[in-house]
Amino acid sequence: MEYTGLKINLLTGNASLKNVKLIPDTARYKELERLKRAPDNLYNLQVESFDLVRFHPSRLYDSRRLNINSIIIDHPKMIITNKRQPYNKVADTVKKKSLYQMISKALKEVRVGEIQLKEIDFTLINNSNKKSKTTAIKNLNLNVNDLLIDSLSENDKNRFYHTKNVDIELKDYKIATPDSLYYLKFKSLKFSTLQRKLVLNGAQMQPRYTIPAFYRKVGMSKDRFDISFNQIVVTNIDLDQLNREQRFYAGRFILADGKISIYNTNAFPKRPSNKTGKFPHQQLQKLALDLKIDTLQLRRIQISYREFNRVTGKTGSVNFANTRGNIYNVTNDAKALAKNKFMRAQLSTLFMSKANLYVTFNFNLTDKLGAFSSTGTLGAMNGIALNQITDPLAMVHVKSLSIRKMQFNITANQNVARGSMRFYYHNLNVQLMKKDVETGLVKKQGFVSGIANTFVLNDSNPIGKDNKFTVGNIYFKRPASFAFFKFYVKSVLEGVKGSVGISKEREQSIKKISRKVSGIISDVKSGIEALKAKRKENRIERQEKRKIKKAKKELEKVEDQEKKDPEVTPKDSVQ
């Protein structure tokens, strides 16, 4: 231990140390390693100033009570070097002494009114694996209020590690994710043990690369996320469960004023992957940390998904504005699951920023197949807004569609979804499009669109004088590569297709007609080209005949001239 200055005033009870250094003895550490007695951690500590304010020498002398008004530690720098030693894994059968038992022979009580640690720089160097890893935290402030060590404080339920309150504040933190594709960052973190509350401001998961650079790096079709929340708040944290049983119990987990932007492209190959067993509630059960959050609350979240389609050369987009709602009983804890095995969600949003959409989910957290059910209601909107996604991605242009209401229910697991759809709409008219193989341009399929609108699609639901209503049946088997959200959306679309009149038989029929029409159009094009070629050939033939006829007339003129004037040569005549 080293320091440059020590001041003690016994009258005021103040003391200070300057430039304090606690430096590990590396030679001794190597010797302990050789003897297999080395600890897992080495500590290197530097402190610019260490101040004790009013430590009351008389109380210490008269009653063996160390009472300190405040301890102020300015700009401490701590470096912990970790190297796990296998011989330290042996369990210690001797019960560890409490803090009071350790000081009781010398002191009856230790009490500190306030401990301030300002601008902490903390670095952890992990040398336990083949590749060394360094984690650094800067700009950390720590305030401890009313630290008490005596015979009763250890069992005081109103204290956390002998303290009435610990306030932690961390500013401007940033760390790269293990795959190096994103930064996790926040402007500030505040935690209070007294309030049992954690607040994160300006939290982000920010891509490290632009969209083109991202896909050049990953080299495949993959979702690119850009996520931010103005504030994340966790309340009613059960510190006793966390400390004694390593369980994270909390009352509310609030995500407020956020944006979730997702982008993908099919310009890169897809890497086949099996998503079976990876629904959100299934993944929750696989977390290493046991947790229970009574309510996960979403407030004013803007969600958008964009996808580039290399066939059309355009990007489709769908958005859910002002998303809000609650998810109840978010847990993987066995005790909590024994009481309630269902996680419920009630969410509302503005679909395409136009229509109110309400959805509910009921997840069975203990079902091995990931069972869940869902209901949804979509309000009135102009269906032309759907062109933002149908034009670029499905090559279907909605010319007109008035949506009155949509209601659906789904019961599903990781294998199949079943349910029904009640879709109320009128004046449906679509324009189908197709990419021209020769020109590469996306063109309208007028004839096929006419067939679809006239013979396949119901232009309204209910339809006709008798108001016949078509219920869309939902039955969709999940391909192994489909993640939860894609599976859910495809299941809903099955109900939409059934409601507008597209059964599987009709869908196959329209594809067959489309192929036949394409063949007819191709034959017509070939016939037109052949006709054009024949016309060109005939035109050239007629031109040649006219030239021959003209030449014959010229020859006849020359012959007539010779007969009239024998002295004129044919050459002179021609000239």
* Alpha-helix residue ranges (DSSP H) falling in 55-105: 57-63, 99-103
Q: Tokens representing 66? A: 């160390």
Give 137's strand partners. 122
Q: Which long-range contacts (CB under 8 A, 24 or more apart) does 362-365 make?
A: 363/279, 363/280, 363/281, 364/281, 365/281, 365/284, 365/285, 365/329, 365/331, 365/332, 365/337, 365/341
Q: What are phi and psi of 235, to 5 degrees?
A: -115, 160
DSSP string, 521-550: HHHHHHHHHHHHHHHHHHHHHHHHHHHHHH
CA distance 500 to 457: 6
* pLDDT one-digit tens code per residue, 31-59: 998 998 898 889 999 999 999 999 999 99
Domain positions in the chain are: 1-84+107-170, 506-574
Q: What's the pLDDT score for residue 68?
A: 96
Q: What are the angstrom distances between the C-alpha of 412 and each of 361, 481, 490?
A: 11, 16, 12
Say yes or no to pLDDT of 374 above 70: yes
Peptide bond into 76 cis (omega under 30): no
Name the pairing type of β-strands 442-444 and 416-435.
antiparallel
* 205, 178 contact by CB (below 8 A): no
Q: How far apart are CA 145 and CA 163, in angstroms?
A: 6
Mean pLDDT of the 6-34 span: 91
For 352-403, the DSSP string reads TTTEEEEEEEEEETT-TT--EEEEEEE--EEGGGGHHHHHHHH-EEEEEEEE
> Rounded to whole angstroms, how far apart are CA atoms 103 and 385?
73
Count CB atoms within 10 A of the CB of residue 160.
Answer: 18
Residue 243 has pLDDT above 70, yes or no: yes
445 CB-side CA count, 13 A: 23
Q: What pLDDT digit, counting tens, does each position of 54-109 carry?
A: 999 999 889 999 999 999 999 999 999 988 888 886 555 556 788 899 999 999 99
For 443, residues 6+ apart whose C-beta sits below 8 A from its C-beta are 433, 434, 435, 436
Read off the pLDDT band of 222 (50, 70, 90): very high
Distance between CA 311 and CA 300 in Å, rounded?
A: 35
Please name the residues in contact with 361: beta carbons below 8 A apart, sequence gap of 6 or more: 343, 344, 345, 347, 372, 373, 374
507-558 tens-digit pLDDT? 666 666 666 666 666 666 666 666 777 677 777 777 777 777 776 676 667 6
- In this prediction, residue 550 carries a pLDDT of 72
pLDDT at 145 over 90: yes
Q: Read off the pLDDT band of 433 (50, 70, 90).
A: confident
Position 394 scores a pLDDT of 86
- Segment 154-172 shows an average pLDDT of 91
Q: Is the pLDDT confidence value at 472 over 70?
A: yes
